[in-house]
Structure formats: structure tokens, C-alpha cells
Amino acid sequence: MSRPVVPAVSAPASGDQPSRSGILYAIGAYTMWGFLPAYFLLLLPSGPFEIVAVRIFFSLAFCVVIITATRAWPAFIAIVRQPRLLFTMGLAGLLIYVNWQTYVIGATSGNVVETALGYFINPIVTILLGVVILGERLRVVQWVALGISVVAVGVLTVGFGSVPWIALILAFSFGLYGFVKKRIGPVVDPVSGLTLETLWLLPVAAVQTVIVSATPAGLAFGSSGTVHVVLMVGAGVITAVPLLLFASAAKRLPLIYMGFIQYIAPILQFLFGVFIMREPMPLERWVGFGLVWLALIALTIDMVRTSRSGRMPVAEPV
């Protein structure tokens, strides 16, 4: 799953109103991300490594179609000719690959609740990375939220019976991915960025395809019926479309609205894992999730107060 983090720009005027279309775009993007676990389960008997390889192939194909249809090749080539941007996109591709592969492994192995946890704690991890990498100074509420989150991870370690590695890898890989995207966001448009990221991952997808085809089970793609093929091809589309919806929403909405709407995805994933997949939720897990939600409520209140003081930035796409 890939949801870009957006850089901050100037604050909106007090009379600015959010765009209705922007809200609809944002809801569409995060709702699609929320249903990804269900979609990936439809791709069985393909395993997670085959799914991600096919996702890379067809995401790239879809992006090429979009660039061609919008006649955006000159902008794409201009980025390719800049070595710094080109290799930075390679780093972004590596990080999003780790995120995608971990997410699909979690979604197809009965750990949907843990994948939801990863995206619940992602905003908190982003704040932590700001302190560690950028040396940012946090407000008291943000420090409190971080402290609560550390306790929550400890409680969830007991609840899961081990450290929730899937959630932590998802949160940190996506947080670092967002950091990289934020640095280059003003000069790399969303479609060109996703195209370059998946282009860098093409050799990885090829290697994974060869390795999976050499296993006794072999590749399920092409041997599990027409519907399965269509769904596998659709994995590329369902990767790219939410990103494009997100980019459209980010141009039209203040960051505070995006901040609220982003929780649609992990909420849907959590509900799917608990009530559809019937994943176990012992008391320790409920307490751990409750602490995470408490930290997020604190951050949300702080975000609203900051917005009212006129210091909340506007979202720009990356």
C-alpha cells in the first residue's frame, strides 16, 4: 500500500472553504486503500511475492498509459535526466517495495489487524522521524502521544505474543518513504514519481517471478482461470488509481481535512480483520489499540488547535 505524505506550504486564508470534489477524491482514495486486504485475498492462490511482482508490472504499465494519454513524457524525461532525482526515486522505490511486500504478506497470512495497526501508528512514526532526522522540536501534546504509543507497542507485544513487526515495518517504511517524497515533491509529479519507482523495481519483480516459477507450486498467474488473471492485472490499477485520487484531493484540501480522512483506511482494515477474518482480539490487543487511538485523539486535538491558530499548512501533492 502506498499513500504519499505531503509537504507543507503556506497557510490558507481564514475564509477558504474545502473543495467538495477534494473531499470526495480523498474519501475515494482512502476507502480503496481500506479494502485492499479483501482484494489481495481474492488473488489467492497467488502468494505474496507473486502478487507484488505482478502489481509492479501492471502498475508500471498503467502509469505508462497515463503518461502517454496525458502527453506527460517530456516532464518524465526531464526528471530522468537529473541523476539526483533519478536515484532518489530509486530509494523511494526500495522503501515502497518493503511497504508493499510487508503489507501483502500481512494481508494474505491472517494479520490484517496488524497491518491496520501499522497505518494507525504511521502518523506517530512520522513525528518521531521528524525529531530524529530533521531535529524538529515537538509540542508537549506530541511528546505525550509518542509516550503513549511506546506503551501501546509494549502492550501489543504481549497481546500479539511477539513484537508486532509487520505493523512497525509498515509504519517506518511508509514514514521514511513519505520523508523522501516530501523532499522531492515540489519537482516530481505523482504519476512520474510512481512510474520511476516501479521502473526501478522492475528487476526485483522479474527476479521474484523467476524464483516463484521455479518453486513446486509455480506461478498461479495464467493457470488459475480468467477471473484470476483479470484480478491480478487489476492489482496494478488499484495501486495507481488511489494515488491519483489522493493527488487530486491534496491539491484541493487543507492538511487538516486530509489528516481526518486518512483514518478511513486503517479503520476499514481493522473492521475487516476483526469482524470478517475473525482474527483474535484478546484483552491486551484491545488495550494496546485503545492506547494508540488515545494518542491519535491527542494528536488530532493538537492539529485542530494548530489549525485554528492559523499555523496549519495546506496539503500539496508529491
Number of domains comprising the chain: 1
Range in 47-56, 72-81, 135-144, 178-187 the model is least confident about: 178-187
Average pLDDT, integer, range 267-292:
95
Note the pLDDT tens digit of each residue in 287-298.
999 999 999 999
Average pLDDT, integer, range 258-283:
92
Residue 136 in grid coordinates: 524538529
Question: Does residue 38 form part of some domain?
Answer: yes
Kindly report whether the global pTM for this prediction surpasses the value 0.75: yes
pLDDT of residue 59: 93
pLDDT of residue 5: 43
pLDDT over 60 (residue 11):
no
Question: Does residue 188 form part of some domain?
Answer: yes
221 SS3 class: coil
The percentage of residues in the chain with a pLDDT greater than 70, rounded to a whole number, is: 90
Confidence label for 17 from pLDDT (cuts 50, 70 and 90): low
Question: Does residue 100 form part of some domain?
Answer: yes
pLDDT of residue 302: 86
Question: Does residue 313 form part of some domain?
Answer: no
Residue 258: C-alpha distances to residues 5, 111, 278 (Å): 10, 26, 30
pLDDT of residue 129: 84
Average pLDDT, integer, range 63-76:
94
Domain of residue 88: give its range: 20-308
Average pLDDT, integer, range 193-210:
95
Average pLDDT, integer, range 108-131:
90
Average pLDDT, integer, range 310-316:
44
d(CA 120, CA 103): 14
pLDDT of residue 316: 35
Spatial contact of 232 and 289, defined as CB atoms under 8 Å apart: no
Question: Does residue 8 form part of some domain?
Answer: no
pLDDT of residue 311: 53
d(CA 264, CA 29): 9
Question: Does residue 202 form part of some domain?
Answer: yes
Spatial contact of 40 and 5, defined as CB atoms under 8 Å apart: no
pLDDT over 60 (residue 13):
no
Question: Does residue 138 form part of some domain?
Answer: yes
pLDDT over 70 (residue 70):
yes
pLDDT of residue 255: 65
Type of residue numbered 227: V
In this structure, the chain runs to a length of 318
Note the pLDDT tens digit of each residue in 224-261.
999 999 999 999 999 888 877 887 787 777 767 777 88
Range in 22-26, 34-38, 64-68 the model is least confident about: 22-26
Question: Does residue 7 form part of some domain?
Answer: no
Q: Which long-range contacts (CB under 8 A, 24 or more apart) does 221-224 make?
A: 221/46, 221/50, 221/54, 224/45, 224/46
* Greater model confidence, 262 or 27: 27
pLDDT of residue 4: 45
d(CA 18, CA 35): 26
CA atoms within 13 A on the CB side of 113: 20
Confidence label for 6 from pLDDT (cuts 50, 70 and 90): very low
